[in-house]
Chains A and B, each alone.
Chain A
Amino acid sequence: MWVEIERTWHDTAVTNCALCGRLVPRRIWMVEIDGQSLPFCNEECEGLYRSYWLPKYGAGVRQKSAKTTRE
C-alpha cells in the first residue's frame, strides 16, 4: 500500500527502495514480504523484486537496499 512519509522539515533522513536503491522522497509503496516490511518506489519495483530478485538471490537473503539513513 502507498504510505506517505511524515517527516518534519528538520528530519534529514532518506529512504531507499528495497530493490533498485533509488531515493523514495515522500510516497512509499510499502509491502510485507516474509515478515519484513519493505519500502519500494512503486508496484513495478515490487514486481521485479518478486519475479527477479527473490528467485535469483533467495528469500533468506535480506535485501540490503531497504534502508532509511539518518544523520
Chain B
Amino acid sequence: MQGVPGVIDTVTLNIIHNALTNIASEMALVMLKTSYSTIFNEGLDFTTVLLDRHGDLIAEKNYTPSMMGAIPHTVKWAVEEKGIEHFYPGDVLVHNDCYRGGCHLPEHMMMRPMFVGDHLFGFAGNIGHVAEIGGKAPGSFAADATDIYQEGLRLPPVKLLNRGEYVEDVWRIVLANHRTPHNTWGDFHAMIGSLETAERRIRELAERYDAALIEQATAELMDYSERRLRAEIRDLPDGEYSARMLVEDDGVTADPFEVRVTIVVDGDEIIADFTGTSPQVRGPMNCTVVVVASAVYNAVFSVTDPHSLIPRNSGCYRPMKFIAPAGSVVNVVHPGPCVGGNTDLQPKLIDLLLNAFSQAVPERVAAASGGSSSNFLFGGIHPVTGTYYTNYHFDGHGTGGTAQKDGNDGEITRHSNCRNTPIEVFEGRYPFRNLEYRLMPDSGGAGEHRGGLATTRTLEVTAEEITLSCLFDRAKIPGWGLFNGRSGGLSQLLVKRVGDDHFRTFVEAYNTVSPTKFTNVQLKRGDIVRYVTPGGGGYGDPLRRDLQAVLADVRNGWVSVGAAQREYGVVVAERDDDFIIDEPASAKLRAGRERAA
C-alpha cells in the first residue's frame, strides 16, 4: 500500500483485480481441458467465479452470462440455508435446485470454501450444464414436461466432498440417476478440479499480498464498479419504459403467454418490474428468478457498458433491482418445469428489456434476436461403443440489427455465449452424418441494418435408432424489428423418414403437439432431420439500406434477388456470373414506396 493510509493505490488494485480475474480464467481452463462432455469442452456452457465470504462476486470468467447473474444469488442463498459454520476446508457443495437459485436443472452449481490458513477468505464457484441428469428424456430436456420431476434429478445444496472426502452416498444417488454416469463423473471432477485450482491460487496470491489486503481490494473494487455503473445509469434519461411480448407456446399446450416489463430509470438506479406477466405455464418455458436477474443484468450492461470496461463484480449489481412475481412465468415455483425458460425465454427477456430501453436510448439497443437456443437433444446406444450416450447440441441464430451495424449471423444466443460443436467432433462422437450446415438466406429481418442470419443443418441418422427431443422457439412468432425494421425468420424442424419422398413437420410425421417442441421421437437409420434456427430482426427502414450493402448480401447469397426487390426496393440483375444493381429502377421503386408510405 502507498499514499493515503487505508487506501490501496491504483496500481496494486489493478494487479489484484487482474490476478483474481486470471484465477477465474484458469478455473475455466481446467474445466475445458479436463471435462468429458462436448457441452463443456466444445460448447463452453459453464462459468467460473470467485466470491468473497459474504457470497459477493469478486471475479469471473464470463463464458456464460446467464450463469453470471445467477451465481452470486445461488451461493449466498446456499450459504445462508446451510449456515456458514457448516463449511469446512476441502468441502465441495453441489446444487441445481431451480426453486433455490438454480437456472434450470441441468445447470449444476458447485462451490468450495477457500481458506487461507484458518481464515475463510471466500468461495470458489462454478456452474456447468451437465449434459444428462435423468428425467423422462435422454439429454434431460423434455419439451413437454409438466413438472420438475420429469426434468431430471433435483439436488438441493448437498456436499459432494466433506473435508476433502467423497460423500459416497450422494455420489451413488447421483450416478444411479444419470443415464451417462461416466460423463457425470468426469464433468463433476472437472468442476471440482477447477475449484481446487482456485483455492490453491488464492493461497499463492495471499503469500504475495496479505489476505486482508486482498479482501480490502475486492471491497474497493466492488465500490468502484458500483460508482462506475451508477454514473452510466445517471446518463440514461429518467422515466418509465414499458414493453410486452407474446411467447408462442409452452410445449404442452398451443396457447401463447405474455411477458410484461416496465423499466424505471430513477437517477442512478434501475428497476425492472415484471408485474402483470402471465402466471407460470404448464410446460417448461417458465424461468427461475435468477434467470430474470441475469436477463436484467445482461440488458442493463448492454446499454450502459457494452464493451465491459467496468470490472464485473457484485458492486455492479447494487444499482439494479428487479421484481419477478413468484408463481409467474418469470419466477416459477414448485412443481413447475423450467428447462426451456433458461434457454428460450431468457434471450427473449433480454430482447424485451432492450425493446423497452429503445424508448430511452434507441441508439444503444438491438432489434430482437432469434431468441431460441434451438435445443437439439439426442441419445441412445452408440453403434460403435455399445454404451449409452446422449448429447445436448445447439446452433446459432441471427441477432438483431442495431443503429450501428447488421446483426450477427449464426451466433449462439447472447445469454449463453456458447460455441457450437465442430462437425468433425460431432460426427466422431455421435451417429449422425452432417449433410448440410450453412447460413439461411433471407432469414435476417430486413432493415437499414438487417437482422443476422439463421443457420440450417441437415443430419442423417447412422445408427439403428436415435431418440430425439427438441425445444426450438420462434416457430410461430418471429423476433421483432425496430424502427420499421422487419421481423426475423421463423425456426423450423422437418424430417424425411426412410421411404418418404419429401420433408414433413414433426406434427405430420409423429403427431407431436408442437412442431418444434417435442420429446422422445424415435428416429431410424437413414432418417434425415433438417432444422432452421430463427433469424434476427432488422433495425431501421429497409428502404434506407445502402444499395451496395444490399448488393453485397445478394453476392454472398444471404439475400435473394427477389427479397432485395421485395424488402429493400433494390432491383438486382444477374449479368456475366455476377450481380449488378439497376440503379434507375431501384430509385424509382424506392421513391414509389416512400410516397405510398
Contacts and interface: CB of A to CB of B under 8 A. Distances in A.
Interface of A: 12, 14, 16, 19-23, 25-27, 48, 52-53, 56-57, 63-67, 69-71
Contacts of B321: 20, 48
Given A52-B264, A57-B275, A71-B335, A21 B325 contact: yes
A67 B81 contact: no
Interface residues of B, number: 29
Among A14, A23, A25, A64, the one with the most B-chain Cβ atoms within 10 Å of its Cβ is A23
A65 B326 contact: yes
Chain B facing A: main interface SS: mixed
Nearest to A18: B326
B271 A21 contact: no
B331 A14 contact: no
Among A12, A21, A70, the one with the most B-chain Cβ atoms within 10 Å of its Cβ is A21
B327 A26 contact: no
B445 interface: no
Contact of B81 (A21, A26, A53): A26
B80 A67 contact: no
Contact of A69 (B101, B292, B322, B334): B334
A25 B100 contact: yes
Contacts of B334: 14, 69-71
A19 B289 CA distance: 12
B271 A52 contact: yes
A16 B80 contact: no
A14 B80 contact: no
A25 B101 CA distance: 10
A69 B288 CA distance: 14
A4 B60 CA distance: 32
Nearest to A44: B321
Interface string B71-84: 00100011011010
Contacts of A27: 80
B264 A21 contact: no
Chain A facing B: main interface SS: loop
Contacts of A53: 275, 323
Contact of B271 (A48, A57, A63, A65): A48
Contact of A23 (B100, B264, B273, B323): B100
B179 to A, nearest CB: 25
A65 B331 contact: yes
Interface in B181-200: none
Contacts of B101: 23
A16 B333 contact: yes
A65 to B, nearest CB: 5
A66 B333 CA distance: 12
A21 B323 contact: yes
Given A67-B333, A69-B99, A25 B77 contact: yes
Contacts of A65: 323-327, 331
Given A53-B323, A65-B325, A67-B327, A23 B275 contact: no
A26 B73 CA distance: 14
B484 to A, nearest CB: 32
A64 B335 contact: no
Contacts of B342: none
Contacts of A16: 289, 326, 331, 333
16 contacts: A14-B334, A16-B331, A19-B323, A21-B289, A21-B326, A21-B331, A22-B289, A22-B324, A26-B81, A57-B275, A63-B325, A64-B326, A64-B327, A66-B326, A69-B99, A71-B335
